[in-house]
Structure 1
Amino acid sequence: MLLSQTIAAIGELNREAMAQAQARVDSLLKPPGSLGRLEELAVQLAGITGRPAPEIRAKSVIVMAGDHGVVAEGVSGAPQEITYQILPRFLDGTGGIGVLGRHVGAKVVVVDIGVAREVTWPGVLVRKVRPGTGNIARGPAMTREEAVRAVETGIEIAQEEIAQGADLLATGDMGIGNTTPSSAILCALAGIPVAEAVGRGTMVNDAVLARKRAVVAEALRVNRPDPADPLDVLAKVGGLEIAGLAGVILGAAARRVPVLLDGFITGAAALVAAGLCPRAKDFMIASHLSEERAHRHMLAALGLKPLLDMNLRLGEGTGAALAMPVVEAAAKILREMATFGEAGVSDMERDKLL
């Protein structure tokens, strides 16, 4: 089984490479620690890749798209049809991730893993597991077998991008109504109360917010997801694009490639991935803190600190794309910034500077 093989292939961070990277960071032409989080990120990249001076040459944003039966409960102010209609805008460069992906020089890969309609838009990878999930307020989102197949689809997509040269992946999502299953996953896997886990999502007023909270509580009551079994949680209250993104994260970790998380939806995917393989957390980078307030609970559960805080809540991988240049900068200070010795600065002069 691809999933079990992938989990078995996820190793520890390379401590020797990290030690070498840390030694170089400490000797660079600057006061110690003066590049802050950039220094931490540089050392993490060394540990992920196993290279003391990692290089990022190609970047891919993988956007998983899927629909949700729970939309029938009135949990979103936006119509489900938007999931289908917006996909070509990602590829022609006029949608949010289309613009920002082009801006940072990243390839945008759009995957239909569970859109309710038949998708024939040119350029969209059709890897549909099923046409949308079931209504989680009335029963499970999907079968366990479908959840596994969706995770494995994500693994396959990640492997394909890495085989084509990508050495930095980012996760993105598209699916009207997907904050509802993401909240349910957060409740089930992190033990966060419904009132704290459910936010407004897209175009949601107070009445719809109250309905969303009631729906998540009902989904948890009806399905009784097992927090000790992430696949059970995913199958019962998750989403197909969430499952696919969990697979992307696991696939990247198995190939020792850093993976940038986007916001709330990809945070839910990361919780599932970490539940399946705790070591996978070491390969994740949190791009930003979402305006969706419960996102901070996800990051806390994962032990991650966001690189950016810009009040973003679009999804699509937009925050992850914006953080890509920061990750590239961290790699470049190891490769391109001179040490005191390389710059010809004597120990005496260095001590005066420090």
Structure 2
Amino acid sequence: MDLEELIRRIPPLDEAAMAAARARQNRLTKPPGSLGRLEELAVQLAGITGQALPRIQHKVIAVMAGDHGVVAEGVSAYPQAVTAQMVANFLRGGAAINVLARHVDARVVVADLGVATELPDQDPLARALVRVKVAPGTGNIAQGPAMSREQAVQALLAGAQVVEQELARGLDILATGDMGIGNTTPSAAIAAAFTGRPPQEIVGRGTGLDEAGLAHKAEVVRRALAVNRPSAEDGLDVLAKVGGFEIGGIAGAMLAAAGHRRPVMVDGFISTAAAMVAVALAPQVRPYLIAAHHSVEQGHGIMLEWLRLQPLLKLEMRLGEGTGAALGISLAEAACKLMAEMATFDEAGVSERA
């Protein structure tokens, strides 16, 4: 499978399924529209899946991991070694995303797209790791491109490969997650490249920078854009010049899920940057995307506005890993169950409004 095929096979939403879902919503024992966003979400899921009564049973949270050369600029409060340490934590089941995945009965799949260090093969934990590494970390975007154009394509296809493998095990909804120390910096650069907004309006505190660190990070993003000059008209160019391997992997996973009529629950800042890349490459992927939450990261609202996505939750979260997306899965499942399991006025013998 090549990138062109990955993009070409994304179909439009199923209008007939959406019409049937809307008709059923209007017959359920409630005032029309009284379940608000849950009704809209159920109709969207019907259009995505092509089923008037969609079901969400197999839930997958794909956590893509990669390192970033830009950490050399001092843009993170944590050392780069934490990326590999957290990958091991995910595989042990001890991270926040593991807890929330168990809460919503989802399985976590961890993929190494570009972690700078290796988990030893003999480590029992490492056997569960999906190894699709493009390279051991990106280049320093403050000094040059993150990766070659060929590596950008490789990252996208690697992310798609993860989804293809999980489909065989059962996948009704994909939630996106990330791990990569320093990855809010390339994500901010991606957002600034696409939106044209100045870095200081996009850059946030990431893992907890102070005011001086925040100003320095914005300057690093400004330099990255000036050095690389990514073209907002070319999603692959933006990914290659200022992106990350795990960001490309997430974008590719989104394209693959949409190609199989699976909804994508988008997590926070990093996953939203990946969604911007995916939409730039394939605008038809947009209706397959569901924004799980509004991150407390400063530029996230600007990114969601560019994508024309309305978040389901606002919990002041900024952890990443797919934590917000895991919570979003529970709302998607609830929306489907409400539409399928509520009685209609006729079934319940309830009088309709006069």
TM-score normalised to the size of structure 1?
0.97
1:88 Cα shift? Answer: 2.0
Counterpart for residue 123 of structure 2: none
Match of 2:61 in 1: 61
Alignment of 1:219-298 (within 5 A): 219-298=224-303
Is 1:337 matched with 2:339?
no
Say yes or no: does 1:192 pair with 2:194. Answer: no
- Alpha-carbon distance in 1 for matches of 2:89, 2:227: 37
Q: Work out the CA distance in 1 between the residues paired with 2:269 and 2:87.
A: 20
Q: Matched residues in 2 for 1:246 and 1:281: separation?
A: 12
- Work out whether residues 170 and 261 of structure 1, in 8 Å CA contact, stay in contact via their aligned partners in 2: yes
1:84-233 counterparts in 2 under 5 A?
A: 84-120=84-120, 121-233=126-238
Aligned partner of 2:109: which letter? Answer: V
Helix, strand or coil for the counterpart of 2:208? coil
Cα shift at 1:78: 0.6
Q: Tell me the CA shift for residue 65 of structure 1.
A: 0.2
SS in 2 for 1:172: strand
Report how far residue 122 of structure 1 moved.
Answer: 3.5
CA distance in structure 1 between the aligned counterparts of 2:260 and 2:335, rounded to whole angstroms: 20
Question: Match of 1:79, as an amino acid?
Answer: P
Structure 2 counterpart of 1:31, which letter? P
* Preserved CA contact (<8 Å) 1:113 1:150: yes
Whether 1:313 aligns to 2:318 is yes
Deviation at 1:140, TM superposition (A): 0.4
Quote the offset at 1:246 in angstroms. Answer: 0.2
Query: Hey, what's the Cα distance between the residues in 2 that align with 1:292 and 1:213?
Result: 13
Corresponding residue for residue 350 of structure 1: 352
Measure, in 1, the Cα distance between the counterparts of 2:259 and 2:180.
27
What CA distance in whole angstroms lies between the structure 2 residues aligned with 1:149 and 1:226? 19
Q: What's the CA shift for 1:163?
A: 2.3
Moved more, 336-345 or 221-230: 336-345
User: What is the letter of the counterpart of residue 224 of structure 1?
Assistant: R
Counterparts of 2:330 and 2:215, CA distance in 1 = 39
- What pairs with 1:64-79 in structure 2 (closer than 5 Å)? 64-79=64-79
In 2: Cα distance, 1:297 partner to 1:180 partner: 15
Give 5+ residue unaligned stretches, structure 1: none
Once the two structures are overlaid, the 10-residue window that deviates more, 48-57 or 89-98, is 89-98
Contact 2:200–2:215 under 8 Å retained in 1: no
- The percent of aligned pairs where both chains have the same amino acid is 57
Q: Compute the displacement of 1:203 (Å).
A: 2.1
CA distance in 2, matches of 1:4, 1:190: 25
Between 261-270 and 199-208, report the one with greater CA deviation. Answer: 199-208
Residue pair 1:89, 1:98 contacting (<8 A) in 2 also: no
Offset, 1:91:
2.4
Structure 1: how far apart are the matches of 2:4 and 2:259?
A: 11
Q: Please say if 1:300 is aligned against 2:305.
A: yes
Q: For 1:350 and 1:126, how far apart are their aligned partners in 2? A: 56
